C-alpha cells in the first residue's frame, strides 16, 4: 500500500450512472474541497458506453485544468463484499492471506479467477477487513480511468467511502434512478442492503426491517440517517422515518445538500493509517 504524505490527496472518481470527480486537500486534519463535479453520461449504445465514459471524464479533467492524476476508484456496488476476518493467534501474514482466500469461497460463488481479494488492517482493532470483488468490474473501471489519463492507486468499497462522507450518521440511504441502497455503519464494519428500484411502502418496510436486523445482530442501533438522492424521492421517506423516531435528513457536505458527488468525496478522503500486524 502507498502512504501519502502530501497535503494534496488522490482524486475521488465515481463511475456509475454519472461520472463524479472530487479533489480535496488535507488542511490541519480537515478536508478542503477544491473541485467537485458530476456529469451525466450521455446516452449511447452499449458498445459505445465505455468510450463515452472516457470522453466525459477527459472533459471534466480538461475543463477544470486538473493536474493531479492519482485517483481512488470504487468497487461497483453488488460486485464487492466485505467481511470481518479474525486472524488466529500467532498467524503470519502469508498464512492469513491463504486463509482469506479460502474464506472468500464462502462469501461469493464466482470462480477463483474472477475474484480480487484484499486483506487490510483496521486501525485499533484485532480484526481485519476482508474484501472480495469481481475482477472484471474492477479492471473495467480502472481501465476507463487510465484511458482518461488517470492513475488508479487504490480501490475502495462503497461502505467505507460512505462512512467517511457521512461520519456523523449511523446510516446512509442512497436513492438512485435504478436502485436504492442502505449502508449501516457498525463497529468496526457494518452492513449493506440493495433494494432495487422499489419505492413507497415496500421500500420503507425493507428499510425498517434492515434497521431491526442490524440492532439484533449487534451491528448498530440506528438513530441518524443521511439521505442522498432527488428530494422528491428522499423527502417522503424522511417524513415516514421521522414518524418512526429516526433523525433522517439530507447528507450535507459544507454548503451542499445531498450532492451527487458525495461518494466521490468519500473516495477522495481515502487514506491509509499505518498499523502493525496483529500481535500474537
Whether the per-residue pLDDT at 165 is higher than 80: the answer is: yes
Provide the pLDDT for residue 132: 93
Q: Which residues pair with 105 in a beta bridge?
A: none
Listed by start position, the domains of the chain span 80-134, 167-250
Interatomic CA distance for residues 198 and 204, integer angstroms: 9
Contact 23, 62 (CB under 8 A): no
pLDDT digits (tens, 9 = 90+) for 217-254: 999 999 999 999 999 999 999 999 999 999 999 999 98
Over the stretch 86-131, which tens digit does the pLDDT of each residue have? 888 888 888 988 999 999 999 988 998 999 998 888 777 778 889 9
Summarised one tens digit per residue, pLDDT across range 191-203 is 999 997 666 889 9
Global pTM reads: 0.88
pLDDT at 3 over 50: no
pLDDT tens string 75-95: 998 899 888 898 888 888 889
Show Cβ contacts of residue 266 under 8 Å, excluding neighbours closer than 6 positions. 12, 156, 160, 161, 162, 163, 164, 165
Q: Which residues make Cβ contacts (< 8 Å) with residue 6, sequence separation at least 6?
A: none
Question: What is the per-residue pLDDT for 29?
Answer: 67
Q: CA Rg, the chain, in Å?
A: 19
Write out pLDDT tens, residues 33-77.
889 999 999 999 999 999 999 999 999 999 999 999 999 999 998
Residue with cell string 492469513: 96
pLDDT given for residue 270 in this prediction: 87
Distance CA 141, CA 15 (A): 7
Domain spanning 167-250: CATH superfamily:
ATPase, nucleotide binding domain (3.30.420.40)
Q: Give the residues across from 183 on adjacent strands.
A: 172, 192
Note the CATH number of domain 80-134.
3.30.1490
Q: How far apart are CA 133 and CA 272, in angstroms?
A: 20
Amino acid at each position: 500500500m502507498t502512504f501519502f504524505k502530501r497535503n494534496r490527496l488522490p482524486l475521488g472518481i465515481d463511475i456509475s450512472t454519472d461520472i463524479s470527480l472530487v479533489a480535496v486537500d488535507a488542511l490541519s486534519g480537515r478536508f478542503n474541497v477544491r473541485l467537485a463535479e458530476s456529469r451525466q453520461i450521455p446516452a449511447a449504445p452499449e458498445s459505445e458506453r465505455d468510450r463515452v465514459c472516457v470522453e466525459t471524464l477527459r472533459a471534466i479533467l480538461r475543463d477544470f485544468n486538473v493536474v493531479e492524476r492519482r485517483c481512488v476508484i470504487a468497487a461497483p456496488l453488488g460486485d464487492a463484499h466485505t467481511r470481518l476476518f479474525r486472524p488466529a493467534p500467532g498467524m503470519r501474514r502469508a498464512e492469513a492471506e491463504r486463509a482469506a482466500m479460502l474464506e472468500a469461497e464462502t462469501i461469493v460463488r464466482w470462480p477463483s479467477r474472477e475474484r480480487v481479494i484484499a486483506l487490510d488492517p483496521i486501525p485499533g482493532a484485532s480484526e481485519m477487513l476482508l474484501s472480495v470483488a469481481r475482477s472484471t468490474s474492477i479492471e473495467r473501471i480502472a481501465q476507463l480511468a487510465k484511458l482518461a489519463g488517470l492513475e488508479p492507486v487504490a480501490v475502495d468499497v462503497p461502505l467505507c467511502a460512505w462512512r467517511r462522507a457521512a461520519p456523523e450518521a449511523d446510516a446512509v440511504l442512497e436513492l438512485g434512478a435504478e436502485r436504492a441502497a442502505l449502508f449501516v455503519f457498525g463497529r468496526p464494519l457494518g452492513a449493506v442492503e440493495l433494494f432495487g428500484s422499489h419505492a413507497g411502502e415496500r421500500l420503507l418496510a425493507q428499510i425498517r426491517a434492515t434497521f431491526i436486523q442490524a440492532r439484533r445482530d449487534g451491528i448498530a442501533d440506528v438513530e441518524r440517517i443521511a439521505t442522498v438522492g432527488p428530494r422528491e424521492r428522499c423527502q417522503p421517506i424522511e417524513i415516514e422515518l421521522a414518524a418512526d423516531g429516526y433523525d433522517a435528513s439530507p447528507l450535507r457536505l459544507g454548503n451542499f445538500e445531498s450532492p451527487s458527488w458525495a461518494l466521490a468525496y468519500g473516495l477522495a478522503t481515502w487514506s491509509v493509517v499505518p498499523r502493525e500486524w496483529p500481535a500474537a
